[in-house]
A and B are shown apart, each in its own frame.
Chain A
Amino acid sequence: MNPEDFQFISTLIKSRSGLVLTPDKSYLLESRLMPIARKHGHKDLDELIRAVRASKDEALTVEVVEAMTTNESFFFRDIKPFDLLRDHVLPPLMKARAQQKHMKIWCAAASSGQEPYSIAIVLKELAAAQGWRFDIVGTDISHDILDKATSGKYTQFEVQRGMPIQLLLKYFDKKDENWEVKPEIRKMVQYKYFNLLDKLGSLGGFDIVFCRNVLIYFDAETKGKVLEEIAKLMPPDGMLFLGGAETVLGVTDLFKPVPGQRGVYSRA
């Protein structure tokens, strides 16, 4: 791929999604975009990118951006954040909201739904949460992936990426060779199309925000802006989860890490 085409595609992806595609990640273009090139009858990536550049085909542009921003997801990814949610983050928040018994949680990069459903299962398993209403909102930048998340249908391969067998038996129905999240869990999660680069106010307020493994793809300025917008949606005792490799240090002073709870941040 010539430098001009790379510049074009990386600028397009950055402007649409915030994702920064550095030259060392250019191999992702090959693996993610070749299926789209083939689908539209282009012999290689160069031809696909020329087609995107030449046409004003918004659908094709969206398809390209979505392919580059969709990431594989696991149930209970990294495990520890879900233990921290149950054991350390929820108890004080629930105590402070004991009257209303209602909490809102946002998964800012819901992808195909594994994280929101994992959170819903944690809440369902929590004895202290009986009688509470939890609204979980999962957002993503890809319509296709949100359709999959909403369906709650996963292959055998997908459910085994992180879902403990006992919870699989309890909260999924087996349909032929696939597994479907039971309605009692599905109804706890609402999915919406949302771009983190847009103004977040329309989403409403959230007590807990999961924004894990998203900011790593943004440049420092975009990270700061997104975290600033997230902070506006949260009450003073709201809690933020970031990915293990992410940090707010040097990016924003609106959040501070919670000592001993890796990846958990409180409002500063």
Chain B
Amino acid sequence: MKTCLIVDDSKVIRMVAKKILDELGFGTEEAADGQLALDACKASMPAAVLLDWNMPVMSGIEFLRELRALPNGNDPIVVFCTTENDLDHIQEAMTAGANEYIMKPFDSDIIQAKFQQVGLI
């Protein structure tokens, strides 16, 4: 079973994402900010990361840059999932090494379609 790390400071969003990912057959872990997510990745690299942008302590984009600099840090497929929907943010995310980008709000169809595109499903 592939594991997806859900990184979002909103407990509700994490809960919704977990339910969708459970149904898609993923194991899930959760982190409430970028630093906690980075710690989790250092302990065990997930197959996928569903990543919010704006979070306390460490933002999603900072996490992504740190992740990609880790040994095996290029392994996880990172899908941003954020309210930031302007072209500059999307470009910045892709340049930093994101594989896909979801603009909130999302639903199960969108998560499924995006995960299919990056070969996770």
Binding site for B on A (CB under 8 A): 74, 76, 79, 156-157, 160-162, 164-166, 169, 174, 177
Contacts A165-B90, A165-B94 known; A160 to B116 CB distance under 8 Å? Answer: no
The size class of the interface chain B forms with chain A is: 10 to 19
* A-B pairs, 9 with minimum CB distance: A165-B101, A160-B110, A162-B113, A164-B117, A156-B103, A165-B100, A161-B113, A79-B116, A161-B109
Task: Check B114 for interface membership: any CB of A closer than 8 A.
Answer: yes
CB < 8 Å neighbour of A161 from B90, B91, B105, B110:
B110
8 Å CB contacts to A: which residues of B77-121? 85-87, 90-91, 94, 100-103, 105-107, 109-110, 113-114, 116-117
CB < 8 Å neighbour of A166 from B86, B94, B103:
B94
Min C-beta distance of B92 to chain A, whole Å: 12
B-chain residues with CB within 8 Å of residue A156 when the two chains form the complex: 85, 103
A-chain residues with CB within 8 Å of residue B103 when the two chains form the complex: 156, 160
Q: Return the chain B residue nearest A159 by Cβ.
A: B103
Min C-beta distance of B95 to chain A, whole Å: 11
Task: Give bound CA distance, A117 to B116, whole Å.
Answer: 19
A-chain residues with CB within 8 Å of residue B110 when the two chains form the complex: 157, 160-161
- Interface contact A160-B102, CB-CB below 8 Å: yes
B-chain residues with CB within 8 Å of residue A174 when the two chains form the complex: 86-87
Q: Return the chain A residue nearest B110 by Cβ.
A: A160
- Interface contact A169-B117, CB-CB below 8 Å: no
- Interface contact B100-A164, CB-CB below 8 Å: yes
B-chain residues with CB within 8 Å of residue A165 when the two chains form the complex: 90, 94, 100-101
A-chain residues with CB within 8 Å of residue B105 when the two chains form the complex: 157
A-chain residues with CB within 8 Å of residue B85 when the two chains form the complex: 156, 177
Q: Return the chain A residue nearest B85 by Cβ.
A: A156
Q: Return the chain A residue nearest B104 by Cβ.
A: A156
Min C-beta distance of A74 to chain B, whole Å: 6
- Interface contact B90-A169, CB-CB below 8 Å: yes
A-chain residues with CB within 8 Å of residue B91 when the two chains form the complex: 169
